[in-house]
A and B are shown apart, each in its own frame.
Chain A
Amino acid sequence: MTTPHWKSPGGEPLTWRLTDLGDAPLTLDSRWPSPELPPQPLATATGTGAGVRVCVVDSGVVPDHPQVGRLDGSFAVRTGPDGQQVVEPDEIGDTCGHGTACAGIIRSLAPDCELVSLRVLGSGLSGTGEALLAGLRWAVEQRFDVINMSLSTTKRDFVLRLHQLADSAYFAGSLLVASAHNLRVESFPWRFSSVISVGSHDLPDPLHLLYNPVPPVEFFARGVEVPVAWLEGGTRRCTGNSFATPHVAGLCARILGNHPGLTPFQVKSLLHLTSANVRRAP
């Protein structure tokens, strides 16, 4: 997989003017996602997500679950001695099963992706908003290609910082795929336009994607009675946007595996073009 210059660690700074581009090519190929394919390929129908780095920001992931497979890293946000949130290697795994469920769904759609767990919940009831923020910041700094976040916060104190992080991810080429709240509650970061927000449809097809013509929830994916991995090698059937979101994260990994270097804007456009309810006019 070719790493775009703006995604390499310490890569190019953001451009503010055309003259900032330097040697970067200004002319882009309109035959995207690649010259070999027609304009609207079923970029999500096949693919393994090979070479794509995916981070699951959740309750942790059970290592070596048959439906999850190999983890390429397992980390947790903890409160350091000075009260600051720090990210450290994690030995605990999953505290409730939710993160494992999300990881298994991503693996089912992108079997060759690199999967990393970042546990931001499960260390107590307080400070979860701070842990979520610190975890997302870490994931963005690590420049994951796809960040699955089946979580949100209702606390308005975090909105500005979350918004800045979501925009940073967007411009750094990290796709932040975030669950819409299941209740009619305003929460974040799914409300931001720089993320891919996901709700649920009730069809049993993991590849069936719907684009919402009336956002802010932009896409609907399988989120009802989804067979998922759980603790101690077990399985469950779960319902909620939490489980629709990793379907879209997995599809994003497929797209990026097939077409490395696409920007979040392009991946979102491709998701839109390949949605089941978006059709070519007769």
Chain B
Amino acid sequence: MNPQDALATALAVTDSDTGHRELLQSVVEAARGVFGARAASIIGLDPGTEELVFEAVSGEGEDFLVGNRFPAARGIAGWVLVSAEPVIVDDLAQNPVFDRDIAESTRYVPDALMAAPLLHGDRVLGVLEVLDRDVRRQSALRDLDWLGLFAAQAAAALATVQRARSARQVLHGEGSAELTEVVALVQAFTALPAERRDAGRRLLQALTEALAARP
């Protein structure tokens, strides 16, 4: 593959979300399986709107929940988000309040919930939730440890996905004006027909030298 084609491929890969959904989905599938749970979700924080967004769901709600939003500052997920601490809460269904409007919007009201923050450095990217784990399997302390391990995986995956989204925004002209112009230049170069590639490369080299030259 010549450098120009490699560059075009890199742009195409950046512009695609192939693999990202599978990456997030694999984490929630594994978490749900290990805990023997009814559902597991990666819920990302949209800091612009202060909402939580379902990014990946396994089990209850997986057909319709991805993309759904709810206010980030509420309930147990909100607590996990602001405290950056995991928690296990049982006996939810027996009690009058459990963010029931949120729970019912997901068409499933659990009896037990585990939630852990998705920590990336000192930022919290979102929350990993596991609903109705099989309590016969392990101790709650061990569950908390395992939840933390899955949350670390989910955080790394979500950070990767978010970086890729930012790159796609740039490709689509939604980034800063400077970046948009540079991307447009790269896209124009990769689109050049074969007979104009050498000329294009010389033009880029001249441009690079001109930009690097001291006034």
Contacts and interface: CB of A to CB of B under 8 A. Distances in A.
B119 interface: yes
B204 to A, nearest CB: 42
Contacts of A26: none
A238 interface: yes
B82 A183 contact: no
16 contacts: A95-B74, A96-B75, A98-B87, A125-B45, A125-B47, A125-B72, A182-B85, A200-B141, A224-B141, A230-B95, A232-B97, A236-B91, A239-B88, A239-B90, A239-B140, A239-B143
Interface centre among B74, B82, B84, B96, by most A CB within 10 Å?
Answer: B82
B-side interface mostly: mixed
Nearest to B112: A237
B141 A183 contact: no
Interface centre among A125, A151, A181, by most B CB within 10 Å?
Answer: A125
Interface residues of B, number: 37
Chain A: interface size category = 35 or more
Given A95-B74, A179-B85, 19 more contacts: A95-B73, A97-B79, A98-B79, A122-B73, A128-B82, A151-B83, A154-B122, A182-B148, A183-B85, A183-B116, A202-B139, A224-B139, A230-B95, A231-B97, A235-B91, A236-B89, A236-B90, A240-B86, A240-B88
B34 interface: no
A240 B97 contact: no
Contacts of B96: 232-234
Interface of B: 45, 47, 50, 72-76, 78-79, 81-92, 95-97, 116-117, 119, 122, 139-141, 143-144, 148, 151-152
Interface in A118-172: 121-122, 124-125, 128, 151-156
A238 B89 CA distance: 4
Contacts of B84: 152-154, 185, 187
Contacts of B45: 125
A258 interface: no
Given A96-B79, A156-B122, A183-B119, A238 B90 contact: yes
Nearest to A234: B95
Nearest to B50: A125
Interface string A63-81: 0000000000000000000
Contacts of A97: 76, 79
A225 B75 CA distance: 19
B148 A183 contact: yes
Contacts of B144: 182, 239-240
B83 A121 contact: yes
A187 B117 CA distance: 14
A174 interface: no
Given A96-B75, A125-B50, A125-B81, A224 B140 contact: yes
Interface of A: 59, 95-98, 121-122, 124-125, 128, 151-156, 179, 181-185, 187, 200, 202, 223-225, 230-242
Contacts of A237: 89-91
B85 A238 contact: no
Nearest to A223: B141
Interface centre among A181, A184, A237, A239, by most B CB within 10 Å?
Answer: A239
Given A121-B79, A125-B81, A239-B141, A183 B87 contact: no
B24 to A, nearest CB: 20
Contacts of A153: 84
A242 B85 CA distance: 9
A240 B88 CA distance: 7
A96 B81 CA distance: 12
Given A98-B83, A121-B79, A242-B87, A234 B148 contact: no
B73 A124 contact: yes
A154 B119 contact: yes
B29 to A, nearest CB: 22
Nearest to A96: B79
A238 B87 contact: yes
A179 B73 CA distance: 22
A50 B12 CA distance: 70
Given A124-B73, A182-B144, A225-B140, A240 B82 contact: no
Given A125-B82, A182-B148, A200-B141, A234 B50 contact: no
B87 A240 contact: yes
- Across the A-B interface, give the 7 residue pairs with the lowest CB-CB distance, nearest first: A239-B88, A234-B95, A237-B90, A183-B148, A239-B140, A96-B79, A154-B122
